[in-house]
Structure 1
Amino acid sequence: MPEPTPVIMIVEPYGGSIRQQNPNLPMVFWDDAAVTRGDGIFETILIREGRACNLDRHSERFKASAALLGLPAPVMDSWVKATQMAIDSWYEHPAAGDASCTWTLSRGRASTGLASGWVTVQAVSREKLSQRERGVEVMTSPRGYTIDTRLPGVRDVTRGDVEGVEDAPAPWLTVGAKTLSYAANMAAVRWARAHGYDDVIYTEGDRVLEGATSTVVSVKGDKLRTPTPGGDILPGTTQAALFEYATTQGWRCKTKKDLTIDDLLGADSIWLVSSVRIAARVTRLDGHKLPRPSNEEEIKALIVGALG
């Protein structure tokens, strides 16, 4: 049976109407900043068994990203309503299963100055489903740039453990938002694939940062560790849910400012966690093949349980 076609809901960002869009017809104008400048934000949410997972954390990050970019504050009742409408439409198809939901808020058309927004629900890619099962081979690489943690918005928006300064060196540069400007991240993944890997973990010297589209979590004994979010590391919604839930299950969870490559290689297992792929175990890190841990299925179940 063929997969259901994507469901698209146009959301009027200022709290107005919601309407369903034919996915085979154009919907973005030629002068929309999402197209011309990559100027906007997004959130990607897992849809499972008729519900949006981890919705509160995604909503909070969506609002924080909008504030940081000076976009209109999302009217979350409208976005949540549009999401539920899209979910209801998605599950009308008999072959509908797990889905990926994306919220997109653009600065909008240059000719009107009005923001634009839409919700998309589509099938989880076969690649992501495969990586959940088989894991991923990962290379480490410098990100190619560094982020000055003194920049405005770092503390408030990324919730990181960083020290701000009174005089920001470049007040127009803000970090910590989940923006549409993902070309560099996708280029890193393409580079990795061209060299025999599936994904990338960014590093700064020996310090571990994050995956191109994921958060890094290491497991050793009953300890879960992840790089401290903030500044140059975007807080992960799935990682936050995992740590909150795992703590109640007796795991010792902690962020670590200086998680190193050696820490990863000395762990029982390494995981890339994200909203839709959920969790992919790292099976090879650079030239090191990583054995399957005895508790692999337990960790997978823990992460899925964290998402409800």
Structure 2
Amino acid sequence: MFVPDVQTFLAVASAGSLSAAARQLNVAPMQVSRRIAALEEDLGVRLFHRTTRSLTLTAEGEAFVPYARAMVDAEAGARAELSPSPGTASGVLRLTAPSGFGQSVVLPMLPGLLEGNPDLRIDLDLSDRQVDIVGQGLDLALRIAPLEDSELVARKIAPNPRLICASPEYLKRHGRPAASAELDQHRCIRLDSVGRWPLVVDGKLTRKRIEGYVTTTSVEAARALAVQGLGLAMLSYWDVFRQLADHSLVQVQLDDAAMEDLSVWAVIPSRRYVPNRVNIFLSALQKEISDLSKTCG
């Protein structure tokens, strides 16, 4: 059943004639007549008694009026729900983000986002595993990794290079490594998912095997252990930007190797019909990152 046909039926029932309904709908009378005929054929009943001088509802037409109004109201409500005004977000935003980035950047921005969008709800998965966003029905994934070829749509949010860091106390006790070979003589805090540290030597990406003094699955744990002086950690900038700013961690730069350049990526299932809540969230995230860069950069 085509909603415009139902809307035309209600207009004719209210106006009392095809020509008056046509003027109300700003269409030709013949189009009104065709829509009513299509609706009657679809329902299998006659909705109007027609004579050359009058048009009245049949019993079936009278019975159909409340259902027709409910259908039109439901369609209007759906459009209002799914197409909110450009400046606001509503509905449930389902997203996933890496745990470290989520804790450091995403969670602190949520109170302001929700206060400015009272009809918005958040369903947030903080996980370092790559989630199938299509299979899980997610609106958005934030990822910090070299992106594999995919049919998904990726948008770069901010640079996020890896870096080696340690507490000033650790460096005072154990010294600062100057070359990649010297990492073997240091205590290293290793993420279980990064068994080999990616280093760029002479413009080529190499992976150096690291024996972990402590190995953990958690970015937050690796950061906390580094702050406590237990060793060197390789993390990404947005995992440790606050600690670099307050000097509880210090960046360690090697003479013979650079760090791998990564970025924060926003990944969405498709460019078509992107929910307004996704665009508003990403705008808020980019503003948050810009503000943090000015404060802590």
Pairwise TM-score range, normalised by the shorter structure: under 0.3
Higher relative contact order (CA 8 A, sep 6+): 2
The structure having more radius of gyration, on CA atoms, is: 2
Report which of the two has the higher share of strand: 1
- TM-score relative to the length of structure 1: 0.21
- TM-score relative to the length of structure 2: 0.21
Report which of the two has the higher share of helix: 2
